Structures are given as C-alpha cells and as structure tokens.
Amino acid sequence: MSVLQNQLATLSAAEDFFTTLGVPFDQQLLHVKRLHVLKHFHERLAALDLTGLDPGAERTATAAALAAAYSDAQTVAPRDVGLFKVFQESAPARSFVPLESITR
C-alpha cells in the first residue's frame, strides 16, 4: 500500500477525503449525498491502476476520481444508476390471492 492509500484508509468522514485530497465541495450537498459520493468514489478507485505512479500522480488521479464521483452525485440520483444493492434488485413479484380462497 502506498502512503496515500494508507492515509485514506484511516479516514472515516466524507469531508476528510475531500480535505485530504484538496477537492472543493459544498457541505450541504455532501451532507445529503455522502453515501452516494463515497460509494461512487470507491468504485472509481477500484477501476484505477495506480501501481507504479509517483506519489504526485497518484494523488492527482485519486483526487480526480473523487471529483468525478462528486460531480456524478450532483447530476444523477443513486436510484437511476443502481448504485446501491437495494436499487439493483428487481421489484418483488405481486401475487394475487382471491378472496374466496381465504374464506374457505
């Protein structure tokens, strides 16, 4: 693990990620969409290949991933992209039970 990855692993609040990486954010928006941003950031980080990058390039790529996740959160609702498992599962099938079958 790189120094930056170790540093990010110790963070817990969404604001800490933005502050550490120097990415500007609106506190009110982040308060509402923090899970969306962090989940999207995690997915973007997983897709990056940071091996072999110097610390500056790694920080730049990581900050860009966070900025992109934040930008997505401003324009797209989590439900629309199926970001969370609850939105990925299909709606439960509805069953019809005739009243006659209940009253017999």
pLDDT in tens, 57-93: 999 999 999 999 999 888 876 565 555 554 445 555 6
Q: Residue 96's pLDDT is what? A: 74
> What's the predicted TM-score (pTM) here?
0.74
Task: Average the pLDDT over 35-53 and give the result.
Answer: 91
Alpha carbon of 63 to those of 27, 80, 96: distances in Å?
A: 17, 24, 51
Task: Average the pLDDT over 28-49 and give the result.
Answer: 91
Does residue 37 or residue 97 have the better pLDDT? 37
Q: At what angle do helices 55-75 and 27-47 cross, to 10 degrees?
A: 120
Task: Average the pLDDT over 50-56 and give the result.
Answer: 92
For every residue of 57-93, DSSP letters joined together read HHHHHHHHHHHHHHHHHHHS-HHHHT-SHHHHSPPPP
Residue appearing with tokens 């997915």: 43
| Cα 42 from Cα 47, distance rounded (Å) | 9
